Structure 1
Amino acid sequence: MEQKDLEHFRALLNQMLEEALKQGELTLEDMTDNNEICADPADRATVESDRAFTLRIRDRERKLIKKIRAALQRLDDGVFGICDECGDDIGVPRLDARPVTKLCINCKSKQEADEHLRGD
């Protein structure tokens, strides 16, 4: 991969990390600001459902932050854009679509097919 591509992905990943961290902070602020006391059980159920949904979103953000940091580490280690399975280069279009990926399109397709067969 060319140096300009690596610089592009470093900037993209840093931007994604900044946005994910900011969104995580907003989610936590929203949860702490939203300490409603509900007398009606239906209202309480709605509040709890919303809170569970927010926590699922927060968990997804946390996982994405971990993947972004791992991708930045792969950039530092000089292995960014190399498939973990087969060792081939991951295409730039795939990395543009999913910069945190560790698998080339062929290995990812095989992984998804195997998961489908197992019923995952």
Structure 2
Amino acid sequence: MDTASQEYRPSADEPYMNPRQLDYFRRKLEVWRDELIDESEQTLEHLRTENWQEPDPNDRATHESEASLELRTRDRYRKLIGKIDAAIRRIERGEYGYCEETGEPIGLARLEARPIATLSVEAQEAHERDEHRRAD
């Protein structure tokens, strides 16, 4: 990747979801996915090499608790990787950056913060209000 590509940040001064922005978000998503996969592989390697034969029951319980936490984290990564892959597919279909409910732009700031976002801030807030009402 050249220096100009590394320094590029999408701007409201350019057309929304133009090819350069789409390429920027695709790369951002791919880097994020690769980092999650690397971390997952490290977790698996750690679990494979862990000494599970601790003589002290407290040490063994601690190892099992840590392993359980690592596996839950890995499962969250797996789900997140699925969302990242779905976002990349939306880029390929020309649907990325637009709210699934309203069709309105999600916005660059929201996508910078959460590149897997599928809803605009307004639609997300409406979903959360509905969830709170159903929970009550």
Q: TM-score with structure 2 length normalisation?
A: 0.83
1:31 pairs with 2:47: yes
For residue 35 of structure 1, report the CA deviation from its aligned partner. Answer: 3.3
Residues 1:71 and 2:87 aligned together: yes
Matched, 1:111 2:127: yes
Match of 1:19 among 29, 35, 49: 35
Partner-residue secondary structure (3-state), 1:47: helix
Equivalences for residues 78-93 of structure 1 within 5 A: 78-93=94-109
RMSD in angstroms over aligned alpha carbons? 1.3
Mapped partners of 1:119, 1:27: distance in 2: 35
Pick the aligned partner of 1:41 from 42, 46, 57: 57
Local SS of the residue matching 1:4: helix
Q: In percent, how many aligned pairs have the same letter?
A: 43
Gaps of 5+ in 2: 1-16
Structure with more contact order per residue of length (Cα contacts < 8 Å, sep ≥ 6): 1
How many positions carry a matched residue from both structures? Answer: 120
Larger helix percent: 1
